[in-house]
Amino acid sequence: MSHRVFGKKAELKIQPVGTGLWAVPGSQWGPAEDQTTLEAIETALEAGCNFFDTADVYGGGHSEELLGSAMKGRRDKFVVASKIGWLNYNEEGNRTKYDTIEILKTDVEAALKRLKTDYLDVLQCHVFYEEPNTPIFIDGFRQLQSEGKIKAWGVSTSDPSLLKVFNRDGDCDVLQVDYSILNRTAEVDLLPYCAENNIGVIVRGPIAMGLLADKFDRQTRFPDGDFRQAWTTDSKQRLQFAEDLKTVERLRSVVPADQSMAQFALRFAYSHPAITTIIPGARNATQAAANTATLQMGVLSTDELNACEAIVPFGGGRKIWPA
């Protein structure tokens, strides 16, 4: 599959299937090992994947450190995206307040040090539970771009109004957003806006945190340290988990026999014309190989898309987030 391009000042050519590096040792996904993460990165790279997404809070910076080790001596083969701004803590245990550009730049320099590089291809404002001081981020990102520290910038959010704030002057390069067969809400406002405004789209959660791998059932119990424990312990999330399992069961009938449901889900996500790349997680080489194999499978056919539509309609999805 051919590369896709985004970025307004610097064109970044990336494959439609990237790799997300949240699930590293010390993150919220249960037990993991450094070596298996490094093997996943290597497998993805060898299969043609060139886009890797991380964040300063993934494993307390350990995700960036592992990616930095993997890039040693071959930085040019990687297009690296990281994120900053989500509940980060300093050495004294106090939460960082991004109320000055200097603080923002200091934390970006720390990320560059962990990654063992002098620039980032993409830097995103990491928005989830708390809205940032957006002028600080926008102006800080612009300065970092003019200094050559970043090539492109944007925001990770599912809030259309916040994306429009970041694109107030038309120079936001990228949106990262949750999108999958189980959560099609981005199709209503966000994806059309990005297409109209030349904003690249990075899709997180294309396998819905493992739900679309079709490996869970009502008896599933998640290990200690895995944030998905709440899917079976929290009353609201338990109900949503049950509904998601029913949807997954219905999807089995539309998945071709020669591919897994996870691969079908990845193809669904990058089939949308507004999507630049997707970043499924890969905890080991086997998962990385299965993810990147979809590069040879191509987008879904009209019949396959219609079959998905009959199960989860346009703009539809979860009532609450199972995380």
What confidence score (pLDDT) does residue 249 get?
97
The CA-based angle 178-184-188, given to 5 degrees, is 105
Three-state DSSP at 321 gives coil
Which whole number is the average pLDDT over 219-245? 88
pLDDT of residue 323: 45
280 within 8 A of 244, measured Cβ to Cβ: no
> Tens of pLDDT along 279-297?
999 989 999 999 999 999 9
Question: What is the pLDDT at residue 55?
Answer: 94
- More confident call, 103 vs 30: 103
- From the candidate CATH numbers 3.30.750.24, 3.50.50.60, 3.20.20.100, 3.40.50.2000, the one assigned to the domain spanning 10-217+260-300: 3.20.20.100
Helices marked H in the chain — which ranges?
Answer: 34-46, 62-71, 101-115, 134-146, 160-166, 190-196, 230-233, 235-251, 261-271, 285-293, 302-311
The upper half-sphere exposure of residue 85, i.e. CA atoms within 13 Å in the direction of its Cβ, equals 30
* 323 vs 121, more confident: 121
Digit-coded pLDDT (tens) for 159-180: 999 999 999 999 999 999 999 9
Give ∠ CA 67-111-322 in degrees, rounded to 5.
70
Nearest alpha carbon to residue 191 among 109, 81, 270, 124: 270
Predicted local confidence at residue 269, as pLDDT: 97
Indicate the angle between helix axes 302-311 and 235-251, nearest 10 degrees: 140
Over residues 143-158, mean pLDDT: 97
Catalytic residues: 58
Q: How far apart are the first and last CA of the chain?
A: 32
Lowest average pLDDT, out of 97-106, 125-134, 307-316, goes to 125-134
**From CA 74, how far away is CA 10, in angstroms rounded?**
20
User: Distance (Å, rounded) from C-alpha 108 to C-alpha 120?
Assistant: 9
Answer yes or no: is pLDDT of 1 > 70. no
3-state class (DSSP) for residue 219: coil
Task: Please report, for residues 108, 227, 236, 308, the alpha-carbon distance to residue 233 in angstroms, rounded to integers and kept in the order given.
Answer: 37, 11, 9, 29
Segment 212-232 mean pLDDT:
88
Which residue ranges make up each domain of the chain?
A: 10-217+260-300
